[in-house]
Amino acid sequence: SNRPMDWDWIKAFPQTLKDEFKSMKITVNWEKAWPAVFIAFLAGLPLLLIAGLIHWRLGWLKAYQQKLASAVGSLRNDSQLNTPKAILIDLIRALPVCLIILAVGLILLTMQLNISALLWSFSKKLAIFWLVFGLCWKVLEKNGVAVRHFGMPEQQTSHWRRQIVRISLALLPIHFWSVVAELSPLHLMDDVLGQAMIFFNLLLIAFLVWPMCRESWRDKESHTMRLVTITVLSIIPIALMVLTATGYFYTTLRLSGRWIETVYLVIIW
């Protein structure tokens, strides 16, 4: 466990942070790295080609999605498959960025950096992260699936898009440090930078999530199971803040990873 974030921790923070920055080193084995550059490029090339192909066909995908939206409510052309097809198109539209992230991670993995394994693991988490939140962003976009297929007001979808951006940005540092906790937990023992950043990130997430929880309780159409789930997910960041402040930094990161995975499942649900 780490030191609790008490007054002594705060007083020692500047010097400890300076020492932490001095100890940070990224090394490259150039004898192995240069021959691996070509192999790394070949490893990432298929993913980049698929991303390029999807990007090339984006115009056709959007046109087909608009065609599906125009059929909603039509007695002759509407179908139960129209909405799943439209969501699938949004999923495909979110894929290029995911594939580029994986390609970059794969290239870095083969370049023999001392943090290659860490960056590869982070890129995999980041790709899933973008797939989930990118899909949500596209579903909620102006005249998107949420508006055309589910009849959500544009003002509400705009509000949820802003919330998604804020929460997703706040989750990024937690993603990174949770990878460190998985692969190199010993590096967390004197990591005051990570401890402070995760504490304030959790505070920010709690600040962003509670209004969403309050809105769900005010919504008369919310189901009991949904209310309980959202309330529990809203309380967890506060509990994780307490764990971080009391020095259980590793435990916080491990639980944060599971909490984020649960958030993904709730979003899909």
Residue span of the structural domain in which 20 resides: 1-25+173-268
136 and 190 co-located in one domain: no
Same domain, 11 and 45: no
Segment 246-257 mean pLDDT: 90
Q: 160 lies in a domain?
A: no
Q: Residue 186 has what pLDDT?
A: 82
For residues 104 and 139, membership in a common domain is answered with yes
Position 127 confidence tier, pLDDT thresholds 50, 70, 90: very high
Q: What is the pLDDT of residues 56-101, one digit of tens each?
A: 988 898 898 888 888 776 656 667 778 888 899 999 999 999 999 9
The domain total for the chain is 2
**In the predicted model, what is the mean pLDDT of residues 171-199?**
89
Q: Domain for residue 67, yes or no?
A: yes
pLDDT band at 201 (very low <50, low <70, confident <90, very high): very high
Contact 28, 112 (CB under 8 A): yes
Q: What is the pLDDT of residues 218-249, one digit of tens each?
A: 766 666 666 777 788 788 999 999 999 998 99
Q: How many other CB atoms are found less than 10 A from the CB of residue 165?
A: 12
Mean of the per-residue pLDDT values for the chain? 84
Q: Bridge-partner residues for 113, per DSSP?
A: 28
Q: What band does 17 get if pLDDT is binned at 50, 70 and 90?
A: confident
Q: Kindly report the pTM of this predicted structure.
A: 0.84
